[in-house]
């Protein structure tokens, strides 16, 4: 009963708590029982548990737990095939490394302005004209320590306690936690193959609430690798504007698409908020360099927050980012390699029982249904790591909607490793059957 009541307490049902405590006191009095101080304290704690704190709502990044276990197995001498982590296996382009050496030798690595190195902002403004044909004023492009820094900044500026943000489920897991850390709540909207695992105008109509401030689209998607239709992206931008909210477009995987070009939300709505960075396309995860494009009305608020929580993004990284924007040959070579790996897995996985309902067109992920193999994707992933030495990510990391029946494959691994992984999975499935 105490355990049941604790659940009510976590829901902040204070009236029930008070009634329960009074009932407990009455029962003790009727039987002329004088509780000890410790027992009275136990009852008090059971009836009035401390309210849930913000940090209690922060979920773990489960793929990192899986990676930690994989590293432990590798330390013991085992060869693990990594198809769980979303990190390019390619080195940073050589031209970027050379630019870093030259900058370090020059000795100028002091703070930049909080909103970023003006030269990088201008270079990105020019890049948006070349890449998408849109004019973006350099001062609207705010340079951040990675895209995680960009989202932390955005939510600090946009959100108040009690407000909400629409997210797709499945979706990038850290988004939920960024929003909660800002004191707001994520609204996880179930999405499936019918919308290519993306939010739609119809889902906006169904889930947008009076306190909703924004909606996030990840295009191409993590974890599904699918891309949102151009017309649907335009409708989403219009729908947000009509509701007085913001469309936040996570475009981190732009430049990694296959057979179709990624479209920026800015092509459809200059009011859209766009987040991007150098981690994926340019294989620069450790450089921690991203950016966010905001409407002019948000620049000053963002600047104040950046001055206090970042001071500035890493100076060296900002400098070499200018060089990275010119590394088109290297980025295209990486994109072609990912496409070859994608084709290998798209051909091999269905033969092993993994159903790929919507073919991914971007990023380096495949989201597969494992209903023909197991009814517990989490147990399946952990057991395959232990038994076969292959690491993939359970659907639970990306939300709750049909999570037990899905897994994510990352093909940010070499062709040889992917082939070996497929061979091991095939052998593992023969054993468990």
Q: State mean pLDDT over 279-284.
A: 98
Are the C-beta atoms of residues 301 and 157 closer than 8 Å to each other? yes
Higher-pLDDT residue of 61 and 294 is 294
d(CA 228, CA 245): 20
Tell me, what's the pLDDT at 52? 77
Dist. CA 46–CA 255, nearest whole Å = 54
Look-up of token digits 């996985």: 349
Q: What pLDDT shows up at residue 373?
A: 97
Q: Give the side-chain half-sphere CA count within 13 A for 412.
A: 24
Q: Does residue 264 surpass a pLDDT of 80?
A: yes
Q: Check whether 31 has a pLDDT greater than 80.
A: no
Q: What is the pLDDT of residues 392-426, one digit of tens each?
A: 999 999 999 999 999 999 999 999 999 999 999 99
Overall size of the chain counted in residues: 433
Residues 169-194, mean pLDDT to the nearest whole number: 96
Q: Of 184, 187, 186, which Cα lies nearest the Cα of 162?
A: 184
DSSP 113: P
Q: Which two tokens stand for residue 344?
A: 């290998």
Mean pLDDT of 150-169: 97
Model pLDDT for residues 303-347, shown as the tens digit of each residue: 999 999 999 999 999 999 999 999 999 999 999 999 999 999 999
Distance between CA 117 and CA 222 in Å, rounded? 29
Mean local confidence (pLDDT), 68-84: 97
pLDDT at 48 over 80: no
Distance separating alpha carbons of residues 369 and 349, to the nearest angstrom: 10
Phi-psi group of 216: left, alpha or beta (phi > 0 → left; psi -120 to 50 → alpha; rest → beta): beta
pLDDT band of residue 1 (cuts 50, 70, 90) is: very low
Measured between alpha carbons, how far is 396 from 401 in angstroms, rounded to an integer?
Answer: 9
Order of all β-strands in the sheet with 246-250: 141-144, 290-293, 273-277, 246-250, 212-218, 164-169, 185-190
pLDDT at 21: 57
* Mean pLDDT, range 13-25, rounded to an integer: 58
Over residues 252-270, the mean pLDDT reads 97
**Average pLDDT, stretch 371-391?**
97
Question: Which value, to the nearest 10 degrees, does the dihedral of the CA atoms of residues 390, 395, 396, 401 take?
Answer: -170
CA distance 161 to 211: 10
pLDDT value of position 11 = 43
Structure tokens at 69: 């276990």
- What's the Cα-to-Cα distance from 244 to each of 33, 187, 214, 250, 271, rounded to whole Å? 60, 17, 9, 20, 11
What is the structure's pLDDT at 57?
A: 84
For the chain, domains (ranges, CATH) are 2-52 (no CATH), 61-90+329-432 (3.90.1150.10), 94-327 (3.40.640.10)
- H or E stretch covering 338: helix 328-352
pLDDT at 18 > cutoff 70: no
Q: Residue 275 forms beta bridges with which residues?
A: 250, 292
Using the predicted structure, report yes or no on whether residue 225 has a pLDDT greater than 60.
yes
Predicted pLDDT at 183:
94
The DSSP annotation for 27-56 comes to: HHHHTT----HHHHHHHHHHHSPPPPPGGG
CA dist., res. 100 & res. 284, Å (int): 12
Separation between Cα atoms, residue 145 and residue 101, nearest integer Å: 20
Beta bridge partners of 250: 218, 275
| pTM of the complete model | 0.87
User: Residue 23 and residue 226: Cα distance in Å, rounded?
Assistant: 56
Asked whether the beta carbons of 187 and 163 are under 8 A apart, the reply is no
Q: How far is CA 119 from CA 135, 208, 223, 338, in A?
A: 16, 39, 34, 31
The predicted pLDDT at position 58 comes to 82
């Amino acid at each position: 009963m105490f355990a049941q009541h604790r659940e009510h307490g976590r829901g902040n049902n204070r009236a029930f708590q008070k009634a329960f405590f009074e009932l407990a006191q009455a029962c003790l009095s009727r039987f002329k029982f004088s509780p000890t101080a410790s027992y009275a304290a136990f009852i008090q704690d059971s009836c009035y548990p401390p309210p849930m704190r913000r940090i209690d709502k922060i979920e773990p990044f489960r793929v990192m737990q899986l990676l930690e276990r994989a590293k432990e197995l590798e330390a013991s001498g085992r060869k693990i095939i990594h198809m769980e982590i979303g990190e390019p296996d390619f080195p940073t382009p050589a031209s970027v490394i050379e630019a870093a050496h030259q900058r370090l030798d020059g000795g100028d690595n002091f703070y930049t302005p909080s909103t970023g190195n003006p030269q990088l902002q201008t270079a990105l403004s020019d890049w948006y004209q070349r890449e998408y044909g849109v004019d973006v004023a350099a001062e609207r492009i705010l340079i951040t320590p990675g895209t995680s820094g960009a989202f932390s900044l955005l939510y600090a500026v946009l959100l108040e306690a009690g407000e909400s943000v629409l997210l797709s489920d499945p979706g990038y897991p850290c988004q939920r936690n960024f929003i909660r850390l800002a004191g707001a709540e994520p609204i996880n909207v179930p999405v499936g193959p019918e919308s290519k695992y993306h939010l739609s105008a119809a889902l906006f109509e169904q889930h947008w609430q009076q306190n909703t401030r924004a909606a996030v689209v990840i295009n191409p998607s993590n974890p599904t690798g699918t891309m949102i239709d151009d017309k649907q992206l335009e409708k989403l931008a219009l729908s947000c504007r009509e509701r007085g909210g913001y469309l936040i477009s996570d475009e981190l995987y732009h430049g990694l698409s296959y057979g179709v070009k990624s479209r920026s939300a800015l092509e459809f709505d200059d009011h859209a908020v766009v987040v991007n960075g150098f981690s994926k396309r340019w294989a620069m995860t450790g450089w921690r360099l991203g950016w966010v494009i905001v409407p002019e009305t948000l620049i000053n608020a963002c600047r104040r927050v950046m001055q206090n929580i970042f001071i500035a993004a890493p100076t060296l990284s900002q400098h070499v980012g200018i060089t990275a924007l010119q590394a088109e040959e290297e980025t295209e070579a990486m994109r072609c390699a990912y496409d070859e790996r994608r084709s290998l897995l798209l051909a091999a996985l269905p033969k092993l029982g993994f159903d790929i309902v919507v073919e991914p067109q971007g990023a380096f992920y495949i989201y597969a249904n494992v209903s023909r193999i197991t009814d517990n994707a989490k147990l399946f992933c952990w057991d395959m790591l232990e038994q076969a030495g292959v690491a993939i990510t359970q659907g639970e990391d990306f939300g709750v909607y049909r999570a037990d029946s899905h897994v994510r494959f990352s093909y940010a691994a070499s062709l040889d490793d992917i082939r070996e992984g497929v061979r091991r999975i095939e052998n593992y499935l023969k054993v468990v059957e």
